Chains A and B, each alone.
Chain A
Amino acid sequence: MQSKTKELNPVLEVNNLFASTEDLPILKGVNIAVNPGEIHAIMGRNGCGKSTLSKIIAGHPSYKITKGEIKFTGQDIQSLEPEQRAQSGIFLGFQYPIEIPGVSNLEFLRVATNARRKFLKKEELDTFDFEDLVREKLELVKMDSAFLSRSINQGFSGGEKKRNEILQMALLEPKIAILDETDSGLDIDALRIVASGIKKISNKKTGIILITHYQRLLDEIKPNYVHVMSDGQIIKTGDSDLALELEKYGYEWTDNFLKKQ
C-alpha cells in the first residue's frame, strides 16, 4: 500500500523497498516520502522491521536491498557508503547506541562534525573552536561536559546514551533525521528535554522520522503523519489522531484494517 504523503521534492523517498539479511526477507515493499519540514511517526509491533528500515537508510552493510529504491534529495543512495550518506545529511539516532571503549567521545564528535562541515564546504573546526560549539549544543540536551571526556557511550545510562544521540544530531545538522526509539528509557523530564532539543534542531528544511511505541513523545512533538508498520510494510497512514486511535484500540485494529483491504 502506498502512503499518501508523496510530493514533489521530498528530502527522503522510499519506494517499494524490499530488503533481507542472509536471505531472510524483512522489508516487504515499504513506501514513505518525507518532505522538508515534515515530521513523520512510524509505529508498529516489535519485530515488524522499523529499526531495519532505519539502518538500511543509513547504509548498514548487513542488509541487502532486493527491490525498490531509496532516494535522498532526489538521488538514489544505494551505492553510497554509510559515511557518505551521513556527510550528505542523513542521520540515524540509534535505538541501541553502541559503546566504544577507548575512543574519546569528544574526538569522535569532532571528527564527525568536521566530516559533515567539509561536505557543506564549511571551515573545519580545531579543538578549541569545536569545544565552543559543543558546549553550546550540550546546553540543548542539558548534558554535562564531563561526558565529553569519556569513551563513546561507555558506561552511559540508557537515558544518557539517548541524549548523546541528540547531541550528535545537533552537531551534524542533518537534512533527514531518523530517531529510532529515542524516547524509550527516558524519564519524564528527560523526555521533555530531548523533545524540545529535537524541536530546536529541526527547521523548515529538515525532515524527521520518529520511530516510537509511545504517545508521550508525540504529545511533545506533533507529527504531520503517522504510519503503522506491520511485517515489513506500511499498512496504514494517517494524521496525528491515528496514534491516539492506536493507543485506544491496539494493533489488532490495524490488522483488521489490513484484512479488509
Chain B
Amino acid sequence: MQIIEEIKNNELVSNPSEIQKICLDKLKLNPLPNVKSELWRLSNKSKFSSFLDYSHKNKESKVCIPYKNSSQNIIRLIIGENSKINLEEENYSIKELKDSEIVDYIKKNISTFDQNDHWSDLLNHCLSSKKNILGLNISGNKIPSIEILSASSSDSFNAKTLILFFKQDCKVDLLQINLGDENSSLSQSTYLCLEENTSVNHGVVSYGENKSNLLNSLNVIQKAKSSYSLGSLHFKFNYARFEIRINQLEGDAKTIIKGIQITKNKDQIATYTKMEFNGPNGILDQVNKSLADDKSHAVFEGTIIVPKTAQKTDASQLSRNLLLSKNAKIDTKPQLEIIADDVKCKHGATISQLNEEELFYMRSRGLTLEEASKLQLSSYFQEIISCIPVSKDRWNLLDKLLEET
C-alpha cells in the first residue's frame, strides 16, 4: 500500500495545497478506514490494498472518448484537461467556480466529515491537485447535455474532483463517465448541490480495462422542490466502490436512484447508498441491480435515514440481483433507520438466476441458449439503462453490456 506509506511518512505530496494539507493531517494519524465497520467489512482486503498500490506521481491521464462524435449539441468537459470554461448564453450560463469558492466549499464539507464515512473523499482531497478539481456554477434551462469525463492512466493512481452548483430553476441532463485504464486506480469525488426547484437527470457510467480500480464517491445535496434522478452503471473493474450519499436537506424533494453493477472473473464491485431525509414529504424511488458471474462478488448496502422531522416520507428501495454462476456471490442488505412514524417505506431484495423455464420456452422456439439469455439480460439491463441520459444512437450502452456479458 504505497500511498498509505507515503501518507504516514509525509511523502505523498511535495507542495500540498491548503485542502491537501488538512486532509493529509487527518489521514496521517489514522490512514485507513476501519475494516470492521459496516461500510468496509465486505471489502476485499487484498483488492483494496492493490487499489492503493499505484503511485500517483507517474502520469497525467488522457481520455479517449468511448463513442462516436455526433452532431448533437453537447458540452463536453474533461477533468484535468480543461482550459477555462465561461459560457454565457441566452437561456443558460455555465461558469467556473473561483478557487476561493472551491476551497471554502471543500473545507466546509471536510469539517463535517466522519473519517470512516468519508474516507474516500478524504483520500481524494489528499491527492487531487488544483488542476484536477473542476467546479462549476450552472444555471438556466434549455442547457445542452453536459458530459464530464474523468480517467486514470495505466500504472498510476489518479484523483479527480467535481463540484457542481445547480442554481434555482435549473434543469439539465448530466452524464458523468469514469474510465479506468489498465493497471490503474481512479479516485473520483463528486459534489452536486441542487438549489430549490432544480431538476437534474444524472447518469454515471464507469468501466475499466484489465485490472482497473475505482473509488467513486458521490455527494448530493437537495433543497426543497428539487428533483434528482441518477442512473448508474459500473462494470469491468477488478475492484470498485460506488458510494452515494444523498441528503434531502428540507425534505419535499424527489430522488430516483437506478443503479446496476456487473461483475465477472474475480472482480469485486460494491455500491453503498445513504439516503437522508431531513424534512417532510420526501420521495425516494430506488432500484439497485447486481449481476455476478464467474467467481466475482457484488455488494449492495442501502441505508435510508428518516428522522422525526421527516414525516410523510415515501421511500421505496428494491435490490434485484442475478447470479450467473455458482461461484459468484452477492451480498445485499437494506439498512432502515426510521424514527418518524407517519412514513411509507418499502424495501425488498431478491437474488435469482436466469429463469430455466423461460429459457426453455425460448429455446423450444429455436432461439439458442445464448440468444435466449441475451433477451433476458437485455430486459434486466434496460430498466436501468433507460435512466442514463445518453441517446442510444450516440452510445449504445445496452449493446456494449451484452458484448461484455
Binding site for B on A (CB under 8 A): 58-62, 81-83, 85-87, 92, 94, 97-98, 100-103, 107-108, 111-112, 115-116, 119, 151-152, 168, 172
Contact = CB atoms under 8 A, between A and B. Distances in A.
A101 B363 CA distance: 16
Contact of B365 (A62, A107, A112, A151): A112
B18 interface: no
Given A61-B356, A102-B380, A172 B361 contact: no
Interface of B: 356-358, 360-369, 371, 375-376, 378-380, 382-383
16 contacts: A58-B364, A59-B363, A60-B360, A83-B368, A94-B361, A98-B358, A102-B378, A102-B382, A108-B375, A111-B367, A112-B362, A112-B367, A115-B368, A119-B366, A152-B361, A172-B366
A37 B383 CA distance: 46
Contacts of B356: 61-62
Contacts of B375: 100, 103, 107-108, 111
A97 B364 CA distance: 11
A62 B376 CA distance: 20
A108 B361 CA distance: 11
Given A100-B375, A102-B382, 18 more contacts: A58-B364, A60-B360, A61-B360, A81-B368, A83-B366, A85-B364, A94-B361, A98-B357, A98-B360, A100-B376, A100-B379, A102-B376, A103-B362, A103-B375, A111-B375, A112-B365, A115-B365, A172-B365
B364 A92 contact: yes
Contacts of A112: 362, 365-367
Contacts of A58: 364
A82 B371 contact: no
A3 to B, nearest CB: 25
B379 A103 contact: yes
A81 B379 contact: no
Contacts of A116: 366
Contact of B371 (A85, A92, A100, A111): A111
Given A61-B360, A94-B361, A97-B361, A81 B369 contact: yes
Contacts of A62: 356
Contacts of A97: 361
- Which of B360, B366, B378: most chain A Cβ within 10 A? B366
Given A60-B360, A100-B376, A103-B379, A86 B369 contact: no
A209 to B, nearest CB: 15
A115 B366 CA distance: 6
B379 A86 contact: no
A101 B369 contact: no
A214 to B, nearest CB: 24
B95 to A, nearest CB: 43
A166 to B, nearest CB: 13
Contacts of B369: 81, 83
B360 A82 contact: yes
Given A102-B382, A103-B379, A81 B362 contact: no
A86 B376 CA distance: 19
Contacts of B362: 100, 103, 108, 112
A168 B383 CA distance: 27
Contact of B364 (A59, A103, A111, A152): A59
Nearest to A101: B379
Contacts of B382: 102
Nearest to A113: B366
Nearest to A96: B357
Nearest to B365: A112
Contacts of B367: 83, 108, 111-112, 115
Contacts of A115: 365-368, 371
Nearest to B358: A100
Contacts of B365: 86, 108, 112, 115, 168, 172
- Which of A85, A100, A107: most chain B Cβ within 10 A? A100
